[in-house]
Structure 1
Amino acid sequence: MHWESRHERAPAVTVLAVGAYTVDFYIFGDRLPSVGETVAATGTASAHGGKAANVAVAAARLGGRARFIGAVGGDQEGAEALATLTRDGVDVSACPRTDPPTARSFICLDSRGQQYIMTWAGAADGLTADVAAAGAALLRPGAVLVLQGEIPVAVSAAAAAAAVPGVTVVLNPSPVEPFTQPRSDPDAARLLARADLVVLNAAECRRLIGERAGSTPSGLSAEAAQLRRQIRTATVVVTVGAQGALVIREGSEMHVPAPEVKVVDTTGAGDGFVGALAAGIAAGMPLAEAVLLACRAAAVSVTRQFCIPSYPRASELSHAPLSPRQC
């Protein structure tokens, strides 16, 4: 995949995110509880989220022509989900509505922005491989297909397989569990092999190569390089929070710093990073430039609460909207 190449013909969609939409329920406290402990909360809230929905909005706000394909419930939350995404310019025309309620995430957040998250899939698991593949097959060369681990791996693998050559497949293997045993899961193996770019955080990187979470930060570049060889993908991007991101390609390593900011809420920052990265790639940016844009977008997002409400528009980054004509 040649990241620096530009495409003269603009596709109708430049970024397609296939996956989940969730309603996020927050509970706030001064600190997070330890196992078996109860602590007093300082407040509660709800907001829109879900990894693929987050990616689509983050890309759209920077000027990408974004589409989200994911199942939502026939409940009020499902209707609100589609209306929210539409207001941000995200195409939701291919989203099925199912009998199970819309997916939910439950997030405990402390005063430093640290979090615990548990997610219930609900309607999200109602997205079929046929619908996902049909949407991916419509993408033209130059577009970006973004996939995660929040829906069954078989569905994401079908979408990746349907993408024509020239479509960049970005995989964020999060949650990481479905990808930890690719030898015993042919769909996971195929999806990892098809990905042009794998984006994940340091803990997920270590989980995929079988290392313990306590590995030292100094060993991260070696671990990322090992992961790239292990899954045989072209590029691995490891996000390292306030330190930015590490980009590993064959024969090269690059660290991209992040702006220094005061952290309020880290929830969804990784999705904001992926959405901005996808929008930059689809606009023909060199990879280093797209990763820098992603670091800046994620840095803004952690200064605000919640997921979708936190993602910046291009003007907030002092950046012109990414022109679809570049894709």
Structure 2
Amino acid sequence: MRTSKAILSIGAVMVDVVCHIPNLPGRGEGVVVDKRDTLIGGCAFNAGNIVRQLGCPCFLFAPIGSGIFADFARKELADRGLEALHVETDLDCGSCTCLVEPDGERTMVTSPGIERCFERAWFDAIDASRYGYALASGYEIEGAGGEAIISFLEAHPEIEFFYAPGPRIEGVGPEKTARINALRPVWHLNDLEAKSYTGCSTVEEAARAIEAESGNAVVITEGAKGASVLSGSERIFVSTESVKPVDTVGAGDSHLGALVTARSAGRSWKEALALANAVAGAVCMVSGASLSDDEFAASGIHL
């Protein structure tokens, strides 16, 4: 590996309630769930679990609060040998209801918890010299604690930052986005988010618009098609193998976790995209946002 430094996965550990439904209900309608799973999730966990499974050291800088969801999260993390940030608080971890249609597409309803209330003092215990890379999502940065996350990254520009704004891309706001771009992050987002944010009609145009703001590489996923990276004058697209999805919950987070791990190990952009595509495809073939260790081993995926 190119570096022995760990990856800091900043964000949320939450409880996902994954509901498979025949169709999304319209306004005022109801729907009966065909199948329900209660699983650990959250952007920091989803990405960090893949980092761990790929063999890279990782710390979940994600607060675990106090309550029924926090108790569930602690047990699930312990079962995987993952550490997270434990804070004294009356706030519980958040939850996310994922409505999954027959084709695997998911629609999310999120109930926030401690993960959107980061405090600057929490970062004081971090030995920043241990970390070469950090990742965070727009969900946490949009919240009141986003200021604390950005301030930490500003204080440690030596840590390479991967930013995944996700569906909260517009809610983060121009002031926070400008500060994030000043850090020269690698943006990681999907095609719909990229085109909506920039107003561009094509993925390549959207990537170039974001690159002009951030001054660094831009990675855009395109679902079953694959993913691309724009880095300077070079645009690399890597297609993905076709899979039959159970759901798409956590696919983007897992793609990010694999991508950061591959880059930390010195892999080229093409190699990193190929690995990330394979991981995201495998996650789509199970219920929920992550692979168990047995499922990961059976996939045959490795650095």
Q: TM (normalized to structure 1)?
A: 0.84
Indicate the percent of aligned positions where both proteins have the same amino acid: 24
- Separation in structure 2 between the aligned mates of residue 163 and residue 276 of structure 1, nearest angstrom: 23
Contact 1:247–1:253 (CA<8 Å) still a contact in 2? yes
- Which letter does structure 2 place at the counterpart of 1:193? A
Name 1:104's counterpart in structure 2: 95
Q: How does 1:39-58 map to 2 (within 5 A)?
A: 39-58=31-50
Q: How does 1:1-327 map to 2 (within 5 A)?
A: 6-7=2-3, 10-11=4-5, 14-92=6-84, 94-132=85-123, 134-135=125-126, 137-140=128-131, 143-151=132-140, 152=143, 153-165=146-158, 167-174=159-166, 175-179=168-172, 181-182=173-174, 185=175, 187-211=176-200, 215=201, 219-229=202-212, 231-309=213-291, 315-320=297-302, 322=303
- Separation in structure 2 between the aligned mates of residue 249 and residue 136 of structure 1, nearest angstrom: 30
5+ residue gaps in structure 1?
323-327
CA deviations over 1:167-214 (Å, ceiling 9, x no partner): 2211001221233x41xx2x3311122143110011111232145xxx
Contact 2:14–2:93 (CA<8 Å) still a contact in 1? yes
CA deviations over 1:109-150 (Å, ceiling 9, x no partner): 11111121011211212321232465372434xx21011112
Secondary structure in 2 matching 1:150: helix
- Separation in structure 1 between the aligned mates of residue 108 and residue 272 of structure 2, nearest angstrom: 28
CA deviations over 1:265-288 (Å, ceiling 9, x no partner): 101100010111111112221222
- Separation in structure 2 between the aligned mates of residue 136 and residue 188 of structure 1, nearest angstrom: 26
- Which letter does structure 2 place at the counterpart of 1:264? V
Secondary structure in 2 matching 1:160: helix
Name 1:325's counterpart in structure 2: none
Superposition deviation, residue 317 in structure 1: 4.5
- Separation in structure 2 between the aligned mates of residue 266 and residue 156 of structure 1, nearest angstrom: 27
- Separation in structure 2 between the aligned mates of residue 311 and residue 272 of structure 1, nearest angstrom: 14
- Which letter does structure 1 place at the counterpart of 2:89? T
Secondary structure in 2 matching 1:33: coil
Point out the more displaced range, 303-312 or 293-302: 303-312
- Separation in structure 2 between the aligned mates of residue 133 and residue 34 of structure 1, nearest angstrom: 47
Point out the more displaced range, 25-34 or 200-209: 25-34
Secondary structure in 2 matching 1:70: strand
- Separation in structure 1 between the aligned mates of residue 171 and residue 135 of structure 2, nearest angstrom: 16
Secondary structure in 2 matching 1:44: strand
